[in-house]
C-alpha cells in the first residue's frame, strides 16, 4: 500500500531522541519521515551500518531527501569516545541544519545525556538549534524511571516536546503513568514486529497521521 499524500503546511523540524540506546529511534524516524514525507538527517553517526541507509531503505515516497552527516565516526561507541578514537573533537558549531524547504526529521544518538565532547550532550543539538523533540520510550522493567528522568531533563532545559512514541509490547499501566506525569501526547505505539519493512513503516505512518496535528 502506498503512502497517502500528506498535506504540507509550514515545514517543521523535529529532533528524535530516546530514553536510551536501542530504544527504537531509527524505526520511529523512518515512520515519521514517511508519514510527513519529510527530509531525514542524522547529524552524528557512530559506527556502521549508517542509520541514514536504514531509514532510506524503509521510506517509500518521492519527496524525502537524506542529508549527509555532520560527523561520520568509525566506531560504535558514545560519540565523544568514537571521535577521540578517530582523532577529532565534535563541535556544536559544526552541526548546522541542512538547507531544505521541506519538513525535517533529525535523529539523535543514544539518549539525551550521551556526551558529544567534554562539555556538551546530544540534547544540546536540539537546544542550540531550537528543535521540538519527539521522545521514543521503549517499555521494560525500570523504563518508567528512565522515561521520567529523561522528561525531567527536557523540562529543566526548556526543550519543547511534541509527544511520545512508545515502542515494544503494550504495557498499559506504565504508559498511563508516564503520560500522567509528563502531560505529553502519545503520538504512536510501535509493537514488536517479525521484521521492519517498508510495508510495516507505511502502516505505522498512516496510524501516526491520525494522531498528528502540525
Cell 503513568 maps to which residue?
177
Find, among 38, 75, 36, 68, the residue nearest to 52 by Cα: 68
Strand-pair partners of 71: 44
Rounded to whole angstroms, the Cα distance separating 183 from 8 reads 27
The full 3-state SS of 183-207, as one line of letters, equals: CCCEEEEECCCCCCCHHHHHHHHHH
Rounded to whole angstroms, the Cα distance separating 47 from 86 reads 11
Rounded to whole angstroms, the Cα distance separating 90 from 208 reads 34
Q: Which of 25, 42, 62, 185 is catalytic?
A: 42
50 and 36 Cβ atoms separated by less than 8 Å? no
Q: Is 162 a catalytic residue?
A: no
User: Is 5 exposed, middle or buried, given 0-12, 13-18 or 19+ CB atoms closer than 10 A?
Assistant: exposed
Q: Where is 67: in which H helix or E strand? A: strand 66-67
Cell of 82: 568514537
Is the peptide bond between 49 and the residue preceding it cis, with omega within 30 degrees of 0?
yes
Active-site amino acid positions = 42
Amino acid at each position: 500500500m502506498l503512502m497517502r499524500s500528506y498535506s504540507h503546511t509550514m515545514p517543521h523540524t523535529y529532533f528524535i531522541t530516546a530514553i536510551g540506546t536501542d530504544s527504537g529511534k531509527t524505526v520511529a524516524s523512518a515512520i515519521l519521515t514517511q508519514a510527513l514525507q519529510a527530509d531525514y538527517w542524522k547529524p552524528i553517526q557512530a559506527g556502521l551500518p549508517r542509520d541514514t541507509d536504514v531509514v532510506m531503505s524503509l521510506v517509500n515516497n518521492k519527496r524525502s531527501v537524506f542529508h549527509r552527516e555532520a560527523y561520520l565516526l568509525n566506531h560504535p561507541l558514545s560519540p565523544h569516545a568514537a571521535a577521540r578514537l578517530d582523532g577529532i573533537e565534535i563541535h556544536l558549531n559544526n552541526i548546522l541544519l541542512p538547507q531544505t524547504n521541506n519538513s525535517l526529521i533529525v535523529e539523535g544518538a543514544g539518549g539525551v545525556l550521551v556526551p558529544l565532547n567534554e562539555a556538551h550532550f546530544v540534547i544540546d543539538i536540539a537546544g542550540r538549534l531550537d528543535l521540538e523533540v519527539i521522545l521514543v520510550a521503549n517499555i521494560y522493567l525500570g523504563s518508567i524511571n528512565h522515561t521520567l528522568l529523561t522528561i525531567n531533563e527536557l523540562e529543566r532545559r526548556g526543550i519543547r516536546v511534541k509527544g511520545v512514541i512508545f515502542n515494544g509490547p503494550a504495557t498499559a499501566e506504565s504508559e498511563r503513568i508516564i503520560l500522567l506525569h509528563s502531560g505529553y501526547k502519545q503520538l504512536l505505539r510501535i509493537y514488536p514486529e517479525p521484521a521492519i519493512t517498508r510495508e510495516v513503516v507505511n502502516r505505522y505512518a498512516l496510524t501516526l497521521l491520525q494522531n498528528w496535528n502540525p
